[in-house]
Amino acid sequence: MTYDLLIRGGTVVTSREVLSVDIAVSGGRIAALGHDLGPATREIDATGKIVVPGGIDSHVHIAQPQGGGVVMADGFDSATRSAICGGTTTVLPFCLQEDDRTMREVLTEYHAKAEGQSWCDVSFHLIVTDPTPSLLGQELPALIEDGYTSFKVFMTYEGLRLDDHEILLTMDCAREHGALVMVHCENEDAIRFLVDKHLARGDVAPKFHATTRPVPVEREATNRALSLSEIVDTPVVIVHVSNGAAIDEIRRARGWGVKVTAETCPQYLVLTEDDLDREGWEGAKYVCSPPPRDRQAQADCWAAIQDGTFDLFSSDHCPFVFESDTGKKTPDGLKSFRRIPNGIPGIETRLPILFSEGVRTGRIGLTEFVRLGATNHAKSYGLYPQKGEIAVGSDADIAIWDPSLTRPITQDRLHHGSDYTPFEGIEITGWPVMTILGGAVIVEDGEPVGDVPRGRYLKRDRSPLVADAS
Ligand code: URP
Ligand code: ZN
Ligand code: ZN
C-alpha cells in the first residue's frame, strides 16, 4: 500500500521510549512504526531531528471576555497559529460562565469563534463563577455528558472567585458526574487586605502586583483547595503552581491520599518578580497571577518537574497588547497595578523553553519532555490515546524539532496577537521546525503553510483520574 506520509530517519520520542523508527501515516492517523515501511505520497527526511507528539497546551485563554474595556490580544486564528508554530497541535481554552446567560449559550458562542478559525485542534474547559442549583443540577451534568469534562474554579479575582462552600458544591457535582476540577489557588481576602495596605501608602506600580500576592497567599489557598478535594473525595488539578511552599502542600496532600494533578508554567521557571520592577510601566508586561517569584522558587519548580510532582507543563497563555488602552495600558491599569489585566502570552514559547532549559541542560530527558508537554495533558483531560502519543492508531499530530537550532526568543518571530513577549531575548537551543496535524503538514521551516485552518473541535471523554477515583 502507499501511505499518505512517511517520516524517515528521525529520533522518535514516545511517552516512554526513544526510538530510531520511521512513521507511516494514513487517513490522518499513525499507521505503522518501523523500518522499510514502503512507499508514501510524501516523504519527510527527519535525519538529525527529534520527532515528538504534537504538544498539548491544556491551559490557555483565548478570546475570553474581560470587561472594563479590556480585550484579549488573540482570537482563535492568531492564538492557534502561534500554537502550531511552537509545536503544539491541541489547545484547551476556557469557556467562562457569564451572568444571566446559560453556559450552553456561552459555549455556542465560543464554538462559533473557534470554528473555521483554528489552526490546531481545540477542546473547551468550563469556568464556574456562579454555581447555582440549576447549573450544578442540570446544566453541568448535561455538559459533562456532552464532552466538557473539566472545569476551573477561582479562589481569587473579584466577581469570579468562589467561596469554600461554593467550591465544595462544585467539586461535589464533579464527583457525582465524573468531571475534573482545576483550581486557581490564591486567597482573595488576603490579597484584598494587602492591596488596601499598598493603596493607602500610594504603592501603585506594577511591582506591587507581586507583593500583594506573596507566597503564603498561594500556599494557604493550595492547602485549602487540597483539603476541600479531600473532604469531597474527588481528584483536583492545581494549576499554575509557582513556588516551593505550594509544591510542598501538593506533596504532603498526596501523602494523605488526595488525588492531585499539578501544573506549572514557563513563567515560573525563567521569570522573577524583579521583572515586574522594570523601568516605567514595563513591569505590566509581566503581571500574571500567581506572579513569578525568585530564583529559589524557580529551582524548586525545576526540582518538582524532575521528581514528577508536576504532571503538566502549560502556558497559561492569556495575551494582552501592551501598547493599547484595551490591553496592559488600560486607563485604569495605568493608575494602579490593581487594574492591570492579568496574564501574559506564551502559547508559542512554552515548549521551546521546556526543551532548551529542560532537555538541553540535562534537567529532563526527551520522554519527560513529551509527557510534560503532551501525553499527560491528553491523559488528564480525556484525550488519550487519540492525542499525546506516537503510537499506531493515534492521530498523526507530530512535531519535528531541530535540537541544535539556536536563536533567541524575539517578538518579531512570534505569531500571537500581543505586541510583546515576556520571554524576549531568552536564548533557545532547540526549535520546532515542522508541525503536522492529522497527517497534514501545517508548519514548515517554522512558518505556517496552507490557507485553510484544519483544526477540529474535540469532544472529550471523562478523565481517567476521575474514573480511577470512583
Ligand atoms: O494571570 C493569569 N494567570 N491570567 C489568566 C487567568 C488565570 O488566572 O489563569
Ligand atoms: Zn488561574
Ligand atoms: Zn489561566
Does pLDDT of 232 surpass 70?
A: yes
- Burial class from Cβ neighbours inside 10 Å (0-12, 13-18, 19+) for residue 464 reads middle
How far, in Å, is the centroid of ligand 2 from the Cα of 210?
A: 15
Ligand 1: residue of 66, 342, 344 to mutate (most ligand atoms within 8 A of CB) is: 342
Does pLDDT of 468 surpass 80?
A: no
DSSP-derived secondary structure letter, 395: B
> Which cell is 269 given?
521557571
How far, in Å, is the centroid of ligand 2 from the Cα of 61?
A: 10
CATH of the domain at 104: 3.20.20.140
Backbone angles phi, psi at 7, to 5 degrees: -105, 115
Given the CA of residue 59, which atom of ligand 1 is nearest to it?
9
Given the CA of residue 61, which atom of ligand 1 is nearest to it?
5
Does pLDDT of 470 surpass 70?
A: no
Residue 467 lies in a domain: no
For the segment 291-331, what is each residue's pLDDT rounded down to a tens digit? Answer: 999 999 999 999 999 999 999 999 999 999 999 999 999 99
How far, in Å, is the centroid of ligand 3 from the Cα of 283?
A: 19
Mean pLDDT, range 48-61, rounded to an integer: 99
For residue 266, how far is the Cα from the chain centroid? Answer: 10
* Among 182, 204, 215, 347, CA closest to 289: 215
Give the strand pairing for 180-184 and 55-60: unpaired
Residue 447 lies in a domain: no
How far, in Å, is the centroid of ligand 1 from the Cα of 294?
A: 19
Q: Is 40 in the pocket of ligand 1 (CB under 6 A)?
A: no
Contacts of 109 by beta carbon, 8 Å cutoff, 6+ apart: none
Provide the pLDDT confidence category of residue 467 given band limits of 50, 70 and 90.
Answer: confident
Residue 142 lies in a domain: yes
> Which cell is 307 given?
521528581
Residues by chain with Cβ below 5 Å of ion ligand 2: 184
The H helix count followed by the E strand count for the chain is 16, 20
* Among 283, 318, 305, CA closest to 355: 305
How far, in Å, is the centroid of ligand 1 from the Cα of 186?
A: 11
Provide the pLDDT confidence category of residue 38 given band limits of 50, 70 and 90.
Answer: confident
Residue ranges making up the domain that contains 361: 54-369
Q: Is 343 in the pocket of ligand 1 (CB under 6 A)?
A: yes
Residue 258 lies in a domain: yes
Report the alpha-carbon distance of residue 181 to residue 187 in Å, rounded: 18
For the segment 247-270, what is each residue's pLDDT rounded down to a tens digit? Answer: 999 999 999 999 999 999 999 999
Between the alpha carbon of residue 365 and those of residues 222, 357, 370, 405, the distances in Å are 29, 11, 9, 18
Q: Is 292 in the pocket of ligand 1 (CB under 6 A)?
A: no
Q: Could you give the 3-state DSSP secondary structure of residue 318?
A: coil
Residue 426 lies in a domain: no
Residue 206 lies in a domain: yes
Residue 204 lies in a domain: yes
Residue 424 lies in a domain: no
Ligand 1: residue of 57, 126, 185, 240 to mutate (most ligand atoms within 8 A of CB) is: 240
Report the alpha-carbon distance of residue 247 to residue 269 in Å, rounded: 14
Domain count across the chain:
1
Report the alpha-carbon distance of residue 373 to residue 101 in Å, rounded: 34
Cα dihedral sign, 66-68-72-76? positive
Q: What average pLDDT does the chain have?
A: 98
DSSP-derived secondary structure letter, 129: S
